[in-house]
Amino acid sequence: MRVAAAVAAGTLLLLAALAVVLTDSKPRQSGSNHVLESGPVEKIAGDGVRCQRDTPLPADTDRVRILLGTNGRPTPSVEVTATSDGRRVLAGSLAAGRRQGHVVVPLTPVNRVDRTARVCVRIRGEGQTVLFGSHGLMRLEWLRPGSETWLDRLPTVARRFGYGKANAFGTWLLPIAGVVLLLAWLLAGRLLLRELRA
Amino acid sequence: MRRIPAAARWCALVALANALVWSLVTPPFHVPDETVHVAYLQHLAETGRIPNKPGATVFSAEEAGVLDALRFNAVVGSARDRTVSTEAQQRGVETAERAVRSRVSGGGTAESSSQPPLFYAYESIGYLASPWRGLLERVWLMRLMSALLCSATVLFTYLFLRELFTSEPWAWTVGALAVAFQPLFGFTASGITPDSLFFAASAALLWALARAFRHGLTPERGAVIGAALAVGVLTKLNFLPLLPGALLGIALLVWRERRRPALRRAMIGAAWACGIAATAAGVYVALNLLVWDRTAWGGGVGVAARTAAGTGSHAAAAVTFADQLSYTWQLYLPRLPFMSSEFFHYPGWETWYRGFIGEFGWLDTTFDLWVYRVSLVVTIPLVVLAAVALWRRRATLRERLPEILTYGTLVLGILVSIGVLGLRYRRSTGFEFEQARYILPFLPLYAAAVAAAAIGAGRRFARPVGALLVTLAAVHGLFAQLLVISRFYG
């Protein structure tokens, strides 16, 4: 009886912790250009623009996060545009006056399709602005609309979970893994109840 | 198999299922050094030869193409970057898999190529038997074979506990399940890494020694000890530091019988143990020298570390005994006032504790700091309860002193070897060598600590506490898997 109570207590703890984690709402990433923020890649004095070609642009994007350094001054205004096959597919801007560091520029998506694009970041302001990245490329981190919980994200996570590995089950691979884990728990629970019986 | 208790088989099945989940959760190649282990075994499986061409390409064209398509180099070490996340990227992976590229164009030396071939030969069976030809399918099949080794580790852990806690059968299940759900173990050992077989061989060695200490050393038990030693030596050179402890154990087992009629039987057992291990080592050395054109031991971890760092074989600065002592001490214990500081942090916390609680991927996937702190709420009482159990059984411990001395020497062997290799690696590369997975060969002792903690709760609460500890281990394992899922697919 006491063993069953202990298993039940542990299971309740698990469910409570799961509820907290899965319902935690935050801005989530739709993708990035896989560039590390290991150092400055461009120093723009006053106004200037930095463009990068062949940048992966996930379909489910409505903001981009970039790292700006301004030596402590307020950030300049930032405009971001993305063009693909000569057409503008994303555009947005952020007014000046933020604290230096990571800034999030809201974007207006034109066409929701995964693509690669030429992305330009235009800086309008005074003083020097530093863009960060590595190997001569600035880091661009794309964010999904709004704020989401992991429960909201489950279909996306399930789809991505199925990518990049041997998988005959598509988006069902994640639920299948969940079922296997559940079976392991049930088996362990049954073992505990049987073996630890007084 | 009939002599193995049903509960042990069920524990092994739980471990297999959990490792199977880990094999799906961790993206291909994101277990430490999995890239070079796959390169080694692909070369072995395709050509029958060990990769041993200095300066040649390490990866086959096929593996290099798949790694590129997976954006492996852009994702590894960068916790804010996901693996394949769009359909376009997935199409690129499928194209890379379908492309006809050479599987035998690798063969260059890497950090894994100085290692013995047993694990790679074992995994080659999966590689060659695979009904699929794509590398990613083969990687998963080989991970499945590693998962089988996870279950073997848990099985030996159960059997080890059976020899240790003879009057508490329930504690065997508690300890074995705690290991089955331990996330660093599940993550590491379900990958393609010789650690999987290393952990199984170490667990088998501990069980074989415990069995001989409990029932006496016989030719049969000696042969089992020898077999565990042989498998370990042929799996990973990091197993070699276990040899002094094993030899001490065997010597103590013989010494214990010095005035008994069983002395002759024990001596034959010792001869079997040493003979099998020495034969395996001898064959390995002969193959290295005569067939594979390598040094007697194939180079060793020190060479592997230097290969990884791209430095010469004598790049490490001279190390004095005092340096070594100071470094090894600080690796595990607080620095003493007269020692110069070897670390910017305290490895006892940063490397060993936090690593054991959970650092995944190529050490690029960690919990938030508060998780490690909160985990102390469980760990500290667990340690106290285990200490209470040991204190209550101090009379038994005294009786089993030779056995405890043997386990202590086994542990010391590994800890010292990590210090020796770590200092040289640090001197020649500037990077840290130590990782918590290096202490996983002692998972059976961790299981014993968990079981002892439950016993330490007293007769009334021992079993519920044991059940609670296993449940917490399962919760810990689940959140580690969720962490990895959020990092790579979130």
A110-122: pLDDT as tens digits? 666 677 899 999 9
What pLDDT sits at residue A59?
83
- Does B319 or B398 have the greater pLDDT score? B398
Residues from chain B that touch A17, judged by Cβ atoms under 8 A, are 475, 479
Q: Please, are residues A123 and A49 in contact by the beta-carbon 8 Å criterion?
A: yes
Pick B490's closest partner by Cβ from A157, A191, A194. Answer: A157
Q: Do B467 and A177 touch (CB under 8 A)?
A: no
Q: How confident is the model at residue B52 (pLDDT cuts 50, 70, 90)?
A: confident
**Looking at residues B13-28, what average pLDDT do you find?**
98
Q: How confident is the model at residue B301 (pLDDT cuts 50, 70, 90)?
A: very low
Name B44's Cβ contacts closer than 8 Å, sequence gap at least 6. B50, B51, B117, B120, B121, B124
Task: Tell me whether residues A188 and B14 touch, CB distance under 8 A.
Answer: yes
By CA distance, what is B77's nearest residue in A?
A: A36
Size of interface A-B (CB pairs under 8 A): 169
The pLDDT value recorded for residue B87 is 87
Mutate to test the interface with A, among B18, B21, B141, B190 (most CBs of A within 10 A): B21
pLDDT interval class at B431 (50, 70, 90) = confident
Average pLDDT of the segment spanning B238-262:
94
8 Å CB contact of A9 and B490: no
Residue B300, pLDDT > 50, answer: no
Taking CB atoms and an 8 Å cutoff, what residues of chain A touch B453? none
pTM over 0.90: yes
pLDDT at B314: 45
CB atoms within 10 A of CB B161: 30
pLDDT digits 0-9 by tens, B254-280: 999 988 888 999 999 999 999 999 999
> How high is the pLDDT of residue B347?
95
Q: CB-CB: which of A35, A141, A195 is closest to B173?
A: A195
For B86-97, what is the mean pLDDT?
Answer: 91
Closest CA to B200 of B146, B143, B149: B149
Residue B297 has pLDDT above 90, yes or no: no
The 3-class SS string of chain B reads: CCCCCHHHHHHHHHHHHHHHHHHHHCCCCCCCCHHHHHHHHHHHHHHCCCCCECCCCCCCHHHHHHHHHCCHHHHCCCCCCCCCCCHHHHHHHHHHHHCCCCCCCCCECCCCCCCCCHHHHHHHHHHHHCCCCCHHHHHHHHHHHHHHHHHHHHHHHHHHHHHHCCCCHHHHHHHHHHHHCCHHHHHHHCCCCCHHHHHHHHHHHHHHHHHHHHHCCCHHHHHHHHHHHHHHHCCCHHHHHHHHHHHHHHHHHHHHCCCCCCHHHHHHHHHHHHHHHHHHHHHHHHHHHHCCCCCCCCCHHHHHHHHHHCCCCCCCCCCCHHHHHHHHHHHHCCCCCCCCCCCCCCHHHHHHHHHHHHEECCCCEECCHHHHHHHHHHHHHHHHHHHHHHHHCHHHHHHCHHHHHHHHHHHHHHHHHHHHHHHHHHHHHCCCCCCHHHHHHHHHHHHHHHHHHHHHCCCCCHHHHHHHHHHHHHHHHHHHHHHHHHHHHC
- Name the minimum distance, in Å, from the CA of B440 to any CA of chain A: 22
CB contacts, 8 Å: A187 with chain B? 10, 13-14, 17
Question: Is it the case that residue B2 has pLDDT exceeding 70?
Answer: no
Residue A194 scores a pLDDT above 70: yes
Asked whether the beta carbons of residue A196 and residue B17 sit closer than 8 angstroms, the reply is: no
pLDDT digits (tens, 9 = 90+) for B460-481: 999 999 999 999 999 999 999 9
User: Which one is predicted more confidently, A109 or A7?
Assistant: A7
Provide the shortest C-alpha distance from residue B384 to chain A (in Å): 20
Q: What is the model's pLDDT at position B350? A: 94
Contact state of B28 with A28 under an 8 Å Cβ cutoff = no
For A178, B299, B303, B308, the CA distances from B428, given in Å and listed in that order, are 44, 16, 11, 11
Cβ pair A187:B10 closer than 8 A:
yes
- Cβ-proximal residues to B326 (8 Å cutoff; 6+ apart), any chain: B339, B340, B342
Do B10 and A191 lie within an 8 Å CB cutoff? yes
- The ipTM is 0.92
Res. B436: pLDDT tops 80: yes
Angle at which helix B195-215 crosses helix B118-129, to 10 degrees, equals 120
Helix (H) or strand (E) holding A25: none
Contact residues, chain A, for B474 at CB < 8 Å: 10, 14, 185, 188
* Predicted local distance difference test score (pLDDT) of residue A198: 67
Please tell me which residue of chain A has the smallest CA distance to B468: A6
Query: Does the pLDDT value for residue B59 go beyond 70?
Result: yes
pLDDT band for position B22 (cuts 50, 70, 90): very high
Spatial CA neighbour of B296 closest among B275, B312, B278, B281: B281
